[in-house]
Amino acid sequence: MKQKEDNILFVGIDLGTSRSSICASNSAKEWIESYVGWPKDFISLKVVGRPVLFGSEALQNRLSLELCRPLEHGIIKEGIDRSEEAVREIIKYLIEISRPAAEQKIYAVVGVPADTLKTNKLAIRRAVSEFVHSLMVVSEPFAVAYGMNLLNNSLVIDIGAGTTDFCIMHGAIPAEEDQKTILTAGDYIDDQLYSYLNEKFPNSKFNKNMVRQFKEQYSFVGKSPGEIRVELPVDGKPVMHDITNEIKRACESILPAIIETTTEMIARFDPEFQVKIKSNIVLAGGGSLIRGIAAHIQEALKVIGSCTVVSVDEPLYAGSFGALKLAQDMPVKYWESL
Amino acid sequence: MISMIFRKRKHRLKESILRGVFEENLKILGKPPFRISERMPLSAKKISLSFLVILLFILGHGNSLNLTLFQEKQTLASSATKNYFQTPENPLTLLDNSANLSDAKAFLKIPGVPLSRTFGLTVKTVMIDPGHGGSHSGSIGKKGTKEKDITLDIAKRLKMRLDKYGQYNVIMTRENDVTLPLNKRVALAQSYKADLFVSIHINYLLSRPTNIIETYFFGSPSDDTTLKLAERENADSQYRLSDFRKIIEKIGDTLKYQESKKLAASIQKSLFLNISKEDGNVQNKGIKTAPFLVLLGVDVPAVLTEVSCMSNSKEEIELNNETHRENIAHYLETGILDYLNKGEASYEAKRR
């Protein structure tokens, strides 16, 4: 089924709320944080030296930039800000860093959060299509499932930043009732952690970006891996703070909703196949990097019987890898008709 | 051997999933389903081709042949006095007035060969026409609710809903309370090259306090009430008699006829299915043909939908409720989208 055309570069893109990645058939593999920043004025332009900045670089220079995280809350905010333009810039940048050869056609499969796919299908196509010769858009959890060859009797839980997407695979392209999206995801943890820290250290100064970094570095559920101490300024002086409990509470705050939705998704599936699905639950997305999360969910799901929950090996690339696999497997006749 | 069967099954599964992904993306683009692997048998191809040739011949010679396809064309002028009315048995089926079918009409009735799809036509511009406006208030309820205000509000809500998809250029014939004669509405649809035209109205039944929903596309009147309604809606047309001949010649437009009928059916189905959940007494009058000039003048699929009934006091109160108007807009949206998606959308709209 694979296409071997040399003049085509197949790319799989995972357009995430927090991070976006690309895997290409020329073995290029890159990721960036899904932030785009444009200089606020000509002085900012002089300071940053470029008309548009991406990812961590954009975050570092955020005071000089008009910063946009285009898929915040899982959808493109059409007409409200520069979301669509930001998506365009991210895609353009990702394709550039995948180094396509001159004259090479680009066939892309783009994975997006399930809600984005439902509400912004056309906006995404608009944003992406000018940089590729042919394009298909799919939901992220489906791309992950395809990449892992979990086409039948499996449940993929993609814990992203804006949303957690659930997708049951049963040997066909998942229908709407096979997918569910909840808003308790990475950003929710950030909000919780920010409020817990504010409550505990009212005199300390910190912002959402710092809180996000603490989460990414130290996140865990269940048994603590050790004391977590971070430096926060108090009256301008750096002071060490113990945030172990706050990290635990914030990370565990998303679990009840995830467990409840998982149970519900399994329960409403054909009872004959429930056992198979229970032994094939896969966590993907940045949230799957939370230490102990797979074991914790597996334990909590015991009430509905024995379950096996595993995390994907490379959460950053699982979506884009699956999208690339889809792109490569897709017959040329389909590509040419789009 | 077993592993080979297993591999084959997996391969087939993958193929069907890939096709599913492809078809989903075709749908996003509003393109018709792909037919590479579904090869038509030669005999079917020959039949289709023969039908197409017959159709093209008929369309090309419609004026000189006395064919029943153009029955409407020949009978329209006299239809105002002719009494050939029917009551719908199945409320969702068309009240077809023609007795004998020509070959072309037979072609139209073959399931699965809509001309829009045969010719790969797509919809880009949707024109929404809020009925009446300005000095033409339309019907006025007992509590003073004016049809022109309600239709404008519903039209605006419908526009917002369709705009969300970013797929259609949605234009309104009027965006505020202005007088707009029918010929101007038609001219607008033509100048914007509308692909679809939906005129929104509210019914008023002099004799009955019931709430009814009905949707029209152009044709000779289905019943006496329809004729009266058409006279009322055509009152501010500002067309001259000399325009009428040109207008009448358009009735033979097969594509428009077929697609208008489908659009009307889709909208009516969505409206009735959903409104009947809120109002168990609402009556479904189905889709009908009527000589509304606003529908005739527009060259593309066009319908006039009577989404509610102002003479029903309860309904008049409901129409003053924002949620009810939003729901009606939602049901119209569902009907239009279902038509555009060729029956793949769900008619069941979620109420607010």
Q: What are A253-279's pLDDT values in tens digits?
A: 999 999 999 999 998 888 888 899 999
Nearest-Cα distance to chain B for A276, in Å, is 17
What is the tens place of the pLDDT at every residue in B55-106? 555 554 444 333 333 333 332 323 332 332 233 333 343 333 333 334 444 4
**What is the reported pLDDT for A116?**
65
Of A49 and A117, the structure prediction assigns the larger pLDDT to A49
**What per-residue confidence (pLDDT) applies to B85?**
27
CB atoms within 10 A of CB B345: 19
- Of residues A135, A137, A173, nearest to B20 (C-beta): A173
Tracing tokens 């790319």 back to the chain, one arrives at A11
Q: What is the mean pLDDT of residues B97-126?
A: 52
> Which of B345 and B160 is assigned the larger pLDDT?
B160
What is the pLDDT at residue B239?
A: 59
Task: Read off the pLDDT of each residue in A175-199 and give the average, rounded to a whole number.
Answer: 89
Q: Does B13 touch chain A (CB under 8 A)?
A: yes
The pLDDT value recorded for residue B1 is 58
Task: Judge whether A152-183+254-313 and A186-252 match in fold.
Answer: yes
Residue pairs spanning A and B at CB distance below 8 A: 63
User: Distance between CA atoms of A88 and A134, rounded to whole angstroms?
Assistant: 15
Q: Could you tell me which residue, B334 or A81, shows the higher pLDDT?
A: B334
pLDDT tens, position by position, B163-217: 888 888 899 999 988 888 888 888 888 888 888 999 999 998 876 668 889 898 8
pLDDT of residue A209: 87
pLDDT value of residue A191: 92
Task: Test B20 with A172 for CB contact under 8 angstroms.
Answer: yes
Q: Is residue A151 within 8 angstroms of chain B, CB to CB?
A: yes
Q: Would you give the end-to-end CA distance of chain A in angstroms?
A: 18
Q: Find the mean pLDDT for residues B21-37.
A: 70
Q: What is the mean predicted confidence (pLDDT) over B142-146?
A: 86
Would you say the C-alpha torsion A292, A297, A300, A304 has a positive or negative sign? negative
- As a whole number, mean pLDDT of residues A148-171 equals 90
Amino acid A118: pLDDT: 61
What pLDDT score was predicted for residue B308?
93
pLDDT over threshold 70, residue A132: yes
Stated length of chain B: 352
> What's the pTM value of the predicted model, to 2 decimals?
0.54
What's the pLDDT tens digit per position in A277-307?
Answer: 999 999 999 999 999 999 999 999 998 989 9
User: Nearest-CA residue of chain A relative to B166?
Assistant: A122
On the 0-12 / 13-18 / 19+ scale of CB atoms within 10 A, B133 is buried
Q: Which residue of A has its CA nearest to B163?
A: A78
- Give the residue, A127 or B316, on which the prediction is more confident: B316
Partners of residue B126 on adjacent β-strands: B170, B196
Q: Give me the residue from A135, A136, A171 closest to B13, CB to CB.
A: A171
The answer to whether residue A208 scores a pLDDT higher than 50 is yes
CA distance A47 to A65: 10
Is A332 an interface residue toward B (CB < 8 Å)?
no
pLDDT band at A225 (very low <50, low <70, confident <90, very high): confident
Average pLDDT across chain B, whole number: 71
pLDDT of residue B65: 37
**What average pLDDT does range A191-210 have in this prediction?**
91
Between B46 and A97, the higher pLDDT residue: A97
Residue environment code for A64-78, b if the CB has 16+ CB neighbours within 10 A, otherwise e? bbebbbbbbbbbbbb
- Across chain A, what does the average pLDDT equal? 87
pLDDT digits (tens, 9 = 90+) for B240-294: 555 554 555 554 456 667 788 888 998 999 999 888 888 888 888 888 887 777 7
Question: Could you tell me where the beta strands, DSSP code E, fall in A173-226?
Answer: 179-182
> What span, in angstroms and rounded, lies between the C-alpha atoms of B85 and B206?
19
Q: What is the pLDDT of residue B230?
A: 66
* Helices first, then strands: H and E counts in chain B: 13, 6
Contact across the interface for A122 and B36, Cβ inside 8 Å: no
- Domain A186-252 annotated CATH 3.30.420.40: yes
- Say whether the ipTM exceeds 0.85: no
CATH number of B69-340, picked from 1.20.1300.10, 3.20.20.70, 3.40.630.40, 1.20.58.220: 3.40.630.40
CA A329, chain centre distance (Å): 23
B165 closest CB neighbour out of A122, A330, A331? A122
Nearest to B21 among A1, A326, A333 (CB): A326
- Class of A8-145+317-336 per CATH? alpha beta
The partner residue sitting opposite B21, judged by closest CB among A125, A173, A337, is A173
Distance between CA B330 and CA B351 in Å, rounded? 8
Structure confidence at residue B105 (pLDDT)? 46
Residue B350 forms contact with A (CB below 8 Å): no
Phi/psi of residue A131, nearest 5 degrees: -105, -5
> What tokens were used for A199?
């409550």
pLDDT at B279: 83
| Spans of all domains in chain A | 8-145+317-336, 152-183+254-313, 186-252
A173 interaction partners in chain B (CB closer than 8 Å): 16-17, 20-21, 24
Q: Quick one: three-class SS letters along B250-282?
A: HHHCHHHHHHHHHHHHHHHHHHHHHHHHHCCCC
Q: Mean pLDDT over residues A132-145, rounded?
A: 90
For A305-334, what is each residue's pLDDT tens digit?
899 999 998 898 999 999 999 999 998 888
Q: Express each pLDDT in A77-119 by its tens digit.
A: 544 457 778 888 898 899 999 888 888 889 999 988 776 666 6
H helix runs in B164-253, sequence order: 182-191, 224-233, 241-249
CATH topology of domain A152-183+254-313: Nucleotidyltransferase; domain 5 (3.30.420)
- pLDDT score recorded for residue A74: 58
- Average pLDDT on A223-228 reads 90
Please determine, for residue A4, whether its predicted confidence score (pLDDT) is greater than 60: no
At A217 the pLDDT is 93
